[in-house]
Amino acid sequence: MTTAKNGASHTRTHIQHFTATKQIELFESLKESRFSGQLVISNTQDHTWVLYLYLGRIVYASGGIHPVRRWRRHVVAYCPERLANVEELQLAVANIAQEESRISWEYQLLSIWIDQNKISREQATKVIKATVVEILFDITQAMEINYEFIRDNLLTTRLILIDAEQVIQEANKLYSAWQGAKIADRSPDLAPIIRQPEVLKSKTSAQVYQNLSQLLDGRQTLRDLSVRMKRDVVTVTRSLLPYIQLGLVNLVSVSDIAPPASASVSQKLFRTKTSHRTTIACIDDSPIICQTMETIITKAGYQFVSEMDGLRAIAVLLSRKPDLIFLDLVMPNTNGYEICSQLRKLSFFKNTPIVILTGNDGIVDRVRAKMVGSTDFLGKPAKPAQVLATINKYVVQRQTK
Per-residue pLDDT tens over the stretch 175-226? 999 998 888 788 999 999 999 999 999 988 999 889 999 999 999 999 999 9
In degrees and rounded to multiples of 5, residue 280 shows phi and psi of -115, 135
The answer to whether residues 298 and 240 belong to one domain is no
Q: Mark whether 211 and 351 lie in a shared domain.
A: no
The answer to whether residue 155 is domain-embedded is yes
Together in a domain, 205 and 114: no
Instruction: Look at residue 114 and tell me if it is in a domain.
Output: yes
Q: Which domain holds residue 74?
A: 9-179
Contacts with 92 (C-beta within 8 Å, 6 or more apart), sequence order: 109, 112
**Is residue 67 domain-shared with residue 116, that is, in the same domain?**
yes
Task: List the one residue out of 53, 159, 52 whose CA is nearest residue 114.
Answer: 159
Establish if 265 belongs to a structural domain.
no
CATH number, domain with residue 286: 3.40.50.2300
Specify whether 92 is located in the same domain as 159. yes
What CATH number is attached to the domain comprising 215? Answer: 1.10.10
285 and 374 share one domain = yes
> Same structural domain for residues 209 and 164?
no
CA torsion angle 113 118 121 127 (round to 10) = -70
**Using alpha carbons only, how large is the chain's radius of gyration in Å?**
22
pLDDT digits (tens, 9 = 90+) for 122-165: 999 999 999 999 999 999 999 899 998 888 877 777 689 999 99
Determine if the peptide bond prior to 381 is cis (ω within 30°): yes
Statement to judge: residues 195 and 293 lie in one domain:
no
Q: E strands, 78-174, where?
A: 145-151
**What average pLDDT does the chain have?**
84
Domain presence at residue 204: yes
End-of-domain residue from the set 126, 160, 179: 179
Q: Between vectors from CA 76 to CA 73 and to CA 82, what angle results, nearest 5°?
A: 125
Model confidence, pTM: 0.65
Number of domains in the chain: 3
Exposed (0-12), middle (13-18) or buried (19+): which is 397, by Cβ within 10 Å? exposed
